[in-house]
A and B are shown apart, each in its own frame.
Chain A
Amino acid sequence: MLVVLRRFFLTMLQISLIILAVLTLLFFLQRLSGDPAAVLVGHNASPELIAAVRAEMGLNDPLPQQYAVFMSRALQLDFGESTRFQAPALDLVLQRFPNSLLLALSALALAVLVGLPLGIYAAIYHDRPDGKVINMLTGVLQAMPSFWLGLLLLLIFSVHLRWVGSVAHLEDNLLKRMALPTITLAAFYTARLIRMVRSGLIETLHQPYVLTAHSKGLMPRNVLFIHALKNALLPIIALVTLDLSLMIGGSIIVETLFSYSGMGEQMVRAIFNRDYALVQASVFVIATFVVCINMASNALYGFVDPRVREGRVTA
């Protein structure tokens, strides 16, 4: 029990440290950008106005004091107002968060639903032509940048077949809105999952205990699904959790391509609008989410595989 508590404490410490590092980086990046006051009011503004804004933003204070103010505000989840939307930046990001999460979760679900059975199939029949074809296709999918796959899907389903529009957030039907972004985001992870399940299962099937199970006369189906699959899937469970955090990052591209109203699309537009408060809030939310998922994934890995927990095998 004590070990678990200690691990939990260490994990929380690590999460806090990473988030503090992200905030520090954001602070210094903002200073790097030249004069934030000039950016805020526009470079054509009168020097008096810029000076007034500088004073109001506290930019004349010594750097450590500015840093302290920035950090204490950030820790109270105050990133300032979005210059574009005249609303608290964090609220804007959190409004978009469910959309991004929905996209990532549905892509993850699709990846598991398609990838797991296909991976098992490709492992069982790894020396048959169809198994090899699956393996080759995964190679192609992994080499395909998500945005190009998305463009091709748009070309087929939007331009030629006219099943869906090319702008996701204009679709009123949830299925139509989600279909292409989900497939696009899921493709890479599906391919990777198939490969991992395939290679993991092939390796497990060659282990002595599987041979023992066969020679005991167990039904081949049971050996496969009960004995082999259980072991082969252990590391994959944790990696799939990890995929969720990668997808939040990857969805920035997919959301931009399909004009899907998520955090990523908002962040990219905020960058073009020089809306730093919104960029900072977006980075903070995404980073926090990703880091938490990663830590959860580590913990889960230790939970499902005691060898990792006891430090006998390094993950």
Chain B
Amino acid sequence: MNINTLNRPIEITAPVRSAPRKHKRAQRRDWRWLRRYRGGLVAAGLLTIIVLLVALAPHITPHDPTGGMNLQSRFIPPFWQAGGTLLHPLGTDNLGRDVLARTLYGGQISLGVAFIASSLASLLGITVGVISGYVGGLPDRALMRLTDIWVAFPFLVLALAVIAVVGSSPPILIALMTLSGWVYSARVTRAQTLKLRQTDYVEAAVVLGAPPAQIVWRHIIPGIISVNIVLWTLTFGTLIIVESSLSFIGLGVNPPTPSWGNMLSDSQTYLQDAWWLSVVPGLALMLTVLCVNAVGDALQKLAARHLDA
């Protein structure tokens, strides 16, 4: 599992400039350019479909993901195999529950937890990064030392130690995942803040006597948003895998609530009899992460180019 794998290099190194309101024509140019990155667009489209399917699960499938056990209809294969039925298009599991329904509802948990955690991680990272970069001095050195240690720390082990004691529930998972994801955002935000502080318009604002809170809000925050959107995307993808990994070893989302991780965990026992139990949720998981990463990569290029222009 790859909790510590959020060290995909983030390279948005173009010189930072103020972000004036874009001209209508410039906006159109952006779109034309984005079209060249078809991969990112296709991924964004697929991701939208996945999110819609997951969010609208009650309208798509009539089955109940947790109850609805029916031991007569156990291990029904997907509809295209002999013995399959369109009533359960992707088959049923060991307790006769509909796999499609469980995958869709499971996505709500998996994506929801990762979404909240990555957003909280971004907020925490931005706060720490801005304070560190703008205030400087001792707070800066202390906070950056902390991030050094944090990066060097085996996060999964820490998470397991906490879960061993306090048990696991979605709020605990969100807290732990937030703590695992904030560091990169903090570092990148700090670096960006340092650059922005030296720009003419920020110095002008300081000379004019604007209060620090106003400078940060009006002049620093807009300049760090794009970098953080890219980072948020990559964190989101990583945390989806983190959640599913924890659920997979039985220390994440607890059954009967479905999550992609614990569905895959259950499927281990029935590998021999029911291949679809391990393939369907895994495919959903991989497709989602693949799309999130592709969108992140495209956004990264977009942001770099935007800063270049």
Interface residues of A (CB under 8 A from B): 14, 17-18, 21-22, 25-26, 29-30, 32-33, 139-140, 142-148, 151-152, 154-155, 158-159, 166, 188, 192, 196, 239, 242, 245-246, 248-250, 252-253, 256-257, 267-268, 270-272, 274, 276, 279-280, 282-283, 286-287, 290-291, 294-295
Contact = CB atoms under 8 A, between A and B. Distances in A.
A253 B152 contact: no
Contact of B160 (A17, A25, A188, A267): A267
A291 B164 contact: no
13 contacts: A143-B237, A145-B248, A151-B271, A192-B5, A245-B154, A249-B155, A250-B1, A253-B245, A253-B248, A257-B248, A271-B163, A276-B165, A279-B160
Contact of B157 (A17, A249, A274, A276): A249
Contacts of B154: 245, 248-249, 286-287, 290-291
A246 B4 contact: yes
A283 B1 contact: no
A248 B9 CA distance: 21
A176 to B, nearest CB: 18
A145 B29 CA distance: 37
A17 B154 CA distance: 15
A224 B156 CA distance: 39
Nearest to B151: A294
Contacts of B3: 249
B248 A286 contact: no
Nearest to B164: A271
Nearest to B283: A148
B2 interface: yes
Given A147-B264, A148-B286, 20 more contacts: A18-B152, A25-B161, A30-B165, A33-B165, A139-B294, A140-B290, A142-B293, A143-B289, A145-B248, A147-B1, A151-B282, A152-B278, A192-B8, A246-B5, A249-B154, A249-B157, A252-B249, A271-B160, A276-B164, A291-B154
B161 A188 contact: no
Given A18-B153, A25-B158, A253-B248, A139 B267 contact: no
Interface of B: 1-5, 7-9, 148-149, 151-158, 160-166, 237, 241, 244-245, 248-251, 264, 267-268, 271-272, 275, 278-279, 282, 285-286, 289-290, 293-294
Contacts of B4: 245-246, 249-250
A242 B151 CA distance: 11
Contacts of B9: 196
A196 B7 CA distance: 11
Nearest to A160: B275
B203 to A, nearest CB: 24
Contacts of B2: 145-146, 188, 246, 250
A308 to B, nearest CB: 14
A252 B159 CA distance: 12
Given A145-B285, A188-B5, A151 B156 contact: no
B300 to A, nearest CB: 12
Contacts of B290: 139-140, 143
B31 to A, nearest CB: 24
Nearest to B293: A143
Contacts of B285: 145, 148
Contacts of A143: 237, 286, 289-290, 293
A151 B267 contact: yes
A146 B272 CA distance: 20
Contacts of B156: 249-250, 252
B275 A155 contact: yes
